[in-house]
Amino acid sequence: MKLLLVLAATLAVAAAGTVDPALNLAIQQGSTEAILALPAIVDQVQSNPSLLSLSGDAKVSALVASLQGLTSAAQAPYVQVASSLGLETQTYWGSNIIHVKGLTSQTLASLAATPGEFTLRKPVTVRMTPSIVETNATQNAQWGVAKIRAPEAWARTQGEGTVVCIIDTGVNLGHVALADAYGGAWSDPYYNTAGPTDQQGHGSHCAGTVLGRANGVGVAPAAQWVACRGLNHQGSGTEPNLISCAQWVLTANPRPNIVSNSWGGGSNNPWYNQVVSAWRSAGIIPVFAIGNSGPGCRTVISPGDQPNLISVGATTDTDAMATFSSRGPNAAGALKPEVSAPGNNIVSCGTGANNYVTMSGTSMATPHTAGAIALLMSANPSWGFDEIFTALTTTPVHPTLSNADRNCGLPEGGDFPNHALEATTVLQGVFMATKLYAATSKKLSLYFDDENAQEFVGHGFIGKGQDLIFKEIHAQFVTSVRKYFDFSAE
C-alpha cells in the first residue's frame, strides 16, 4: 500500500501535457478531435546498434517492429485515460501520435492533466499543391521529359527494377499509360477502395510524369508504381491519413524505392519529419513539392521546407524559374528548394482511359524529379540518398536569375546554389557520369575553377555528337562529386 501511495504521489506532481491554444479555440467552436503528440522515438530506433548491423528487408522489418513496439508502450497510458473519458483513439507508430475523437472542453482538460510529456494540438490539414489545368493535349515529345534528357538515359535504363509510390488523390489504374506499370500495392485510408482509383486526377497526372508508358509522358517508363490515397477526392489531406500512408510505405509489397509527394501546407512544421526519417532508414528517397506560393522569398511549404528530404521547385521550358514556384530559404535559413525541374505546361495522364491533360505547378516538377531518381537508382543499384542527393544537386546548369530571385538573400544574381533555382535547375545531365578520359571518340571540354580538378570525377551524360562542357563549377561541386558510375563514350 505504501508503494502505491508513493507512486500516486509521484504521478500527481509529474508534469502534465501542454495544449496548443489553437486547439482550445477549435474545441470551443465545435471541433471534437485532436492529435496527442508524444516525443519522437524514431531517432532512438535508428541509433540502435542491432538495427545498424542489418540491411535490406531484415533492416526494414526490424525498423517497423521496433517502432511499433516502442510507440505502443509509450502510448498505452494515454489510450487508457482517453478510454476512461469515453473518447475514441487511433494510434500511429510512424510518428508516435494518437488521434483522439469525441472531445469536449471538459474532456480535453482532463486528458491534458495526464502526467507525462506530450502536446495536444489540432490535426494538420494539407492540400495538393494547386495545379493550373491549361488544356487537353496529346503531343508525343513532352518537353519536360526531353528537357531533363531522359531519352538519352533510356539507352542504358528506363527505370527497370525501381518502384515509385505516389501519395496523392489516387491513381487511375484504367489509363493506358499506367495500367501495365502497376506494382500491385494500394492503400486507401479515406474510402477503403479495393483497387486504385482517382476521381480528382491530380495523382494520375503525377504518376504519368514519373513513369507513364504511352504518349511519351513518363521519365522512367520501365519503373513500377504503387500508391496510397493520402488526399481525398477534393484534394485535401488529413494528418492521420497521411501518417497512415507513410506507415504503409514501409510495409508495402513491393516496397517503394522513392515516394513522390505533390502536396503540403503551412510552413516550418515538422509534423511529418519522423516518418520521413523512417523512410530514410529504410533506404526510401522522399521527394516533396516546395509549393506554388511564389515568387516571393520564404514562401516554401511543409513538409517540403524541412530537412532530410528532396524538395522541388518548378521551371519553364526556357529554364526560368516559374513565377508561381515557391522560393526559399526556409525558416531556419537553409537553402530551398534542393532541385528545380520542369513544372509549367506539363502533359500527363487524365482520369479517362486514354486522355491527357496539361497542368502547371510544383506538383508537376516533383514527379519529374522522382522519375529522374528512378533512372539513377536503376543505373546505380547501390546508391542511397547521399549519392542521389549529390547527383541532383551538383548539375552545372545555371540559368540567369531574375531580379526578384536575387532578393532572396543572395549578393549576386549568378550565385549558386541559391534559394530559387538552387544548384540543379532542370536536372540536366544527372543520369550518367564519366571520369576525365584522356582519349575518347568524343571531345570533352572541361572547365573547373579548382587547380586540382583533374583528380575528381566529372558529372554528366555524353550523347552522340555532343561535347560535355562544365562551366562555373564551384568548389562544393568539385570536392563532393567523387563516386559515380563510369561509362565510355560511344
Catalytic residues: 168, 202, 363
User: Please, what sign has the CA dihedral across residues 310, 316, 321, 322?
Assistant: negative
Residue with cell 538573400: 409
State the burial class of residue 271 (Cβ atoms within 10 Å of its Cβ: 0-12, 13-18, 19+): buried
Residue whose C-alpha is closest to residue 220's, from 427, 70, 471, 472: 427
The half-sphere exposure of 270 on its side-chain side, counting CA atoms within 13 A, is 11
Residues β-bridged to residue 168: 229
CA–CA dist 322, 314 (Å, integer) = 6
Amino acid at 406: R
Bridge partners, residue 121, by sequence: 35
Distance CA 37, CA 271 (A): 9
* Residue 94 grid coordinates: 510512424
